[in-house]
Amino acid sequence: MVQVKMESNLLGANELLARKNRNLFAGQGLLVVNLMSSPGSGKTTILERTIDVLGGQLKMGVIEGDLYTDQDAQRIEKKGVKVIQINTEGACHLDAGMVGNAFGQLPSGDMDLMFIENVGNLVCPAEFDLGEDFRAVVISTTEGNDKPLKYPFIFRQARVILLNKIDLLPYTDFSLDKFSDDLARLNPSAPVFMVSGRTGEGIKTWTEWLLGEVKRKKP
């Protein structure tokens, strides 16, 4: 009988490709945001609003992850922004290899800010580094304030959190106090922006913060 020592990281292949992506993005001074949430939280609507505000002053691109359709990509395309669709054919998350391939199809060296809209899922995407600069997690008031505690890992990893559908707050049992308390323990350094994709409320504060991040990344 022999023992063979392996010490092989099971996500090692992905992490290698993520590092490659990260170097590629850094070389172009491009800020890359991995946008994550559960299905229906409003990622695409927030993207549309963000493009409305920043599209005039920044060159933006979007990689859209979706199981089968290109509906979200069509919405983004209408905003006049370069978009590449990835269909995961049922897989629950994007991985670094998929993002690297999609990035190769975007015009090279011609962007300031790129969003990767991940598959709607609060579990698996958290485990896969795509080479992004940071992760932005969207949660909406209609989902309930318990989501950070139910999916602590994804909220812990977020650099920034957007609370969407703030216009619907009076019609839900969402407790802002409880939500803030939970995040203060889980991820105290992440700023939280309260927005409404539908009315546009709060979008300006979010885009101003984002613009600061883009400028910081520029060489």
Partner 1 sequence: MHELSIVEGVMNMVRESALQSNIMKVNKLKLVIGRLSMVLPDSLQFCFQALSQDEFFRDAVLEIEQREILIQCGKCKQQFVLEDVYCYICPGCGANEVEIIQGRELYLDYYEGEEN
Query: Which residues in this chain contact partner 1 in the complex, by CB under 8 A?
Result: 1-12, 92, 123-124, 126-127, 148-149, 152-153, 156, 182, 184-189
Minimum CB distance to partner 1, residue 189 (Å): 7
Question: Among candidates 46, 85, 39, which has minimal Cα distance to 62?
Answer: 85
State the Cα angle at 142 between 181 and 133, rounded to 5°. 65
Amino acid at 207: T
Minimum distance from CB of 198 to partner 1 (Å)?
30
| 3-state class (DSSP) for residue 1 | coil
* Minimum gap (Å) between residue 29 Cβ and partner 1: 28
**Closer CB to partner 1, 76 or 137, in the complex:** 137
Task: Give the rounded distance of the alpha carbon of 95 from its chain centre.
Answer: 13
Distance of CA 130 to the CA centre of its chain: 10
Q: How far is the CB of 96 from partner 1 (least distance, A)?
A: 15
| Smallest distance, partner 1 to C-beta of residue 166, A | 24
Tell me whether residue 203 is exposed, middle or buried, using C-beta atoms within 10 angstroms of its C-beta: 0 to 12, 13 to 18, 19 or more. buried
Q: Are 73 and 95 in contact (CB under 8 A)?
A: no
Find the shortest distance in angstroms from Cβ 64 to partner 1.
Answer: 21
What are the tokens at 45? Answer: 């609507």
CB closer to partner 1 out of 149 and 211: 149
Q: Which is nearer to partner 1, 148 or 202 (CB)?
A: 148
Do residues 206 and 162 make contact, with C-beta atoms less than 8 angstroms apart?
Answer: yes
The sheet carrying 134-140 orders its strands as: 82-87, 60-66, 113-117, 31-36, 134-140, 160-164, 192-194
Q: Which is nearer to partner 1, 3 or 218 (CB)?
A: 3
Please identify, using beta-carbon distances, which residue of 4 and 107 lies nearer to partner 1.
Answer: 4
Q: Which is nearer to partner 1, 91 or 211 (CB)?
A: 91
